[in-house]
Structure 1
Amino acid sequence: MAGQRVGYVRVSTLDQNTFRQLDGVDVDRVFEDKASGRDMNRPELEEMIKFVRDGDTVLVHSMDRLARNLDDLRSIVRRLTVKKVRVEFVKERLSFTGDDNAIANLLLNVMGAFAEFERSLIRERQREGIALAKKRGAYRGRTPSLDAARAAELREKAASGVPKAALARDFGISRETVYAYLRSEARTRSPEPG
């Protein structure tokens, strides 16, 4: 009996769209994370790993959607293949079953390393571009996620004990951004003269 075809899609921010990642790929169920791939702390990834069974196939658009670094990529693929789940990367046209030969394992390592290398090149070019723009006076930084009134509201709710995860959800920002707003308030408060 053939198992289920399970899709996994991921984007880094809430406003990005996952639609194109598995467009035209036949799947029975999709797990979708809107979180950074820099680590494995992603709720839908964990749910997907718990959900799949022997004989299922997990389909992912590309290796960088599953993990941003080689260690995490190998770990996730291993966790799935140990459960006798097949992992297919659509863009790279690669499949892994756990019964893979030395060539398949080499391909996973090489392709994963290239994806990690490509990501670091992108970050490096981005930093260089920002530095050049700053020299020209053309760089203004990112637009703040919250205006001053919303930021004040967030700080007020945090001070009253509302959990950071709930604040992130209510304000449509990441927990990291919640903490950044709270840190920036602490920096702007100057100590009383003594």
Structure 2
Amino acid sequence: MLTVFAAIAQFEREITLERQKEGIAAAKARGVYKGRARKPDTPELKMAIKGWESGEISAADAIRISGLSKSAFYERTKGYLRKK
């Protein structure tokens, strides 16, 4: 009996995810769905990236100084280093 309920729940979840993907695609096509606004580049962020790149500070310290999440910091670092 639990297996049947689990299968039904999984099926419902798959349908929900499919509808969500379709809705996001439709919103993007209309230009409505743009995601979260990006935090602006601050002097602290630039200082943290330079310090981390030169080895003066650790990655954890650079992330703390920048005020970004770990993944956002590394994503910004890639973009910043490409500009050089």
Using structure 2 for the length normalisation, give the TM-score: 0.56
Deviations 1:154-194 (A, max 9, x none): 322322322222222333332211110111123334xxxxx
Instruction: Check if 1:154 corresponds to 2:48.
Output: yes
Q: Give the 3 Å change call, closer, same or farther, for CA 169–152 of structure 1 in structure 2.
A: closer
Deviations 1:21-53 (A, max 9, x none): xxxxxxxxxxxxxxxxxxxxxxxxxxxxxxxxx
Query: How big is the shift at 1:139?
Result: 2.9
CA distance in 1, matches of 2:61, 2:19: 34
Q: Is the contact made by 1:164 and 1:178 (CA closer than 8 Å) also made in structure 2? A: no
RMSD value, Cα: 3.4
Q: Show the counterpart of 1:138.
A: 32
Query: How big is the shift at 1:148?
Result: 1.9
**Larger helix proportion of the pair:** 2
**Larger strand proportion of the pair:** 1
Q: Show the counterpart of 1:178.
A: 73
Aligned length in residues: 77
Structure 2, gaps ≥5 residues long: none
Structure 1, gaps ≥5 residues long: 1-102, 190-194
CA distance in 1, matches of 2:19, 2:72: 23
Using structure 1 for the length normalisation, give the TM-score: 0.30
